[in-house]
Amino acid sequence: MVTTEFYSPSTLVAALELLDQYKRQAVIVNGGTDIVERIANGTIDPAAIIYIQRVAELKEIRESDGVVRIGGAVTYEEVLDSPLSSQFSALKQAVLEVGSPAIRVVGTPAGNIGTAVPAGDCSVALMALDAEVVAASKQGERVIKLADFVVDYRRTSLAANELIKEIRIPVIPGVNTASAFVKLANRKAQDIAQASAAVRLTVEGDVCRDIVVAMGSINKVTVRARSLEKIIAGKRVADAADAIKSIVPAEVALGGPGNELFAARPTAKAEREYKEAVIGVVVERAIKKAYAEVLGRRN
């Protein structure tokens, strides 16, 4: 066991200096809802813990240049309370599914995506919202599409000396675009998703002109269902269910052997078949939920 140093920097510059010094021997802690448990059970044994909740630059939610920027230390509760988040229904619905009220006070969306697990509720919602991650280091910043950010189970594209500075979400363009998140779990609260889906839907009349579909808990990473999006686009929303039934089984084999959907880990055949059977229904419910929001705005 190594001796673990604890740091609580008050500026981003100081946090990045520490991270540059310790690199992979350091862990970044926001709310600590995942990291602290992993330290306690011995899964990781860091030389340094860098606690970033005092870094003011990471605590902002603001809008500029057509995107809403959510700082890397912004909590779930702060997301719910921000007027800027009201346009992102999928994100707010996902946040309300995360843990308990006590966890939402300390946990963060950045921590949720940084954990890089396929059941992360915020990860699914943010992918559907076409979010980007701003990674910062002592050497500068780079912008990464969320779809490219998670590269494997519990592995991201962050370098050893980088942290998540902010999450960027494109502003919802108008009343004809809405989003939604749906989660299927054994319990109604504080449970990991058996399957989840989020969509961002743009309609013209009752026709789907553009759609983004993200699916969680069916692979080792969150999945962007691009082929499904192509099938649904141009169809009436009422006909989306039939399109989903025709394409979801084909989605299973898109990645090829060893990389297909529903391959998060070696699972029992029954569990795999269950996920294959329900994911289309979950996506359909998310589409209907987003469309209902559009109709509500029109009325």
Listed residue (254, 202, 197) closest to 227, CA to CA:
254
Average pLDDT over residues 117-122: 88
Q: What mean pLDDT, rounded, does the chain reach? A: 86
- The residues pairing with 200 across neighbouring beta strands, listed in sequence order, are 179, 212
Question: Residue 134: pLDDT band by 50, 70, 90 thresholds?
Answer: very high
How far lies 107's CA from each of 60, 75, 188, in Å? 15, 5, 20
Q: What is the pLDDT of residue 163?
A: 97
Average pLDDT over residues 273-289: 88
Strands (E), 23-162: 26-29, 48-51, 61-64, 67-71, 132-137, 140-145, 150-152, 155-156
> Does 250 score more than 70 pLDDT?
no
Q: Does residue 77 or residue 147 have the better pLDDT? A: 77
> Does 46 score more than 80 pLDDT?
yes
> Does 205 score more than 60 pLDDT?
yes
Q: What is the pLDDT of residue 188?
A: 55
Average pLDDT over residues 50-72: 96
Domain ranges in the chain?
5-170, 177-298
Q: What is the pLDDT of residue 88?
A: 98
> Does 34 score more than 60 pLDDT?
yes
Strands 67-71 and 163-170: antiparallel
Q: What is the pLDDT of residue 23?
A: 93
Reduced to 3 states (helix: H, G, I; strand: E, B; else coil), residue 42 is: coil
Fold of 5-170: 3.30.465
| CATH 3.30.70.260, applies to 177-298 | no
* Poorest-pLDDT segment among 11-15, 140-144, 185-189, 295-299: 185-189
Q: What is the pLDDT of residue 246?
A: 63
Q: What is the pLDDT of residue 33?
A: 60
Residue 19, both tokens: 């991270």
Q: Which contiguous run of DSSP H or E holds residue 278?
A: helix 269-298
